[in-house]
Homo-oligomer: A and B are copies of this chain.
Amino acid sequence: MVTNRQERAIGIFDSGIGGLTVLKAIAELMPAEHIVYMGDTARVPYGSKSAAMVTRCATQAVGRLMTIPLKMVVIACNTASACSLGALVETVDRTGAVPVIGVIGPGAHEALARSRNGRIGVIGTDSTIRQGAYQHVVKTLAPDTMVTAQACPLFVPLAEEGWVDNEVTEAAARRYLDPLRTRNIDTLILGCTHYPLLKGVIATVMGPDVQLIDSAEATAREVKALLHARGLERASGEPGKHAFMVTDAPERFARVGEIFLGRPLERVELVILQA
- Identify the A interface with B (CB < 8 A): 41-44, 48-50, 53, 126, 153-154, 156-158, 160-161, 163, 166-168, 171-172, 175, 248-249, 252, 274-275
Contact = CB atoms under 8 A, between A and B. Distances in A.
18 contacts: A41-B49, A42-B43, A42-B49, A42-B53, A48-B160, A49-B248, A50-B249, A50-B252, A53-B248, A53-B249, A153-B160, A154-B157, A154-B161, A154-B163, A154-B168, A163-B175, A166-B175, A168-B168
A204 to B, nearest CB: 16
Per assembly, the copies of the chain total 2
Main DSSP-derived SS at the A contact region? loop
Contacts of A274: 275
Nearest to A248: B53
Contact of A168 (B41, B171, B248): B171
Given A48-B160, A154-B158, A168-B172, 18 more contacts: A42-B43, A42-B53, A43-B43, A44-B48, A48-B252, A50-B252, A53-B248, A53-B249, A153-B157, A153-B160, A153-B161, A154-B154, A154-B157, A154-B168, A167-B171, A168-B171, A168-B175, A275-B275
A254 to B, nearest CB: 13
A40 to B, nearest CB: 11
B171 A48 contact: no
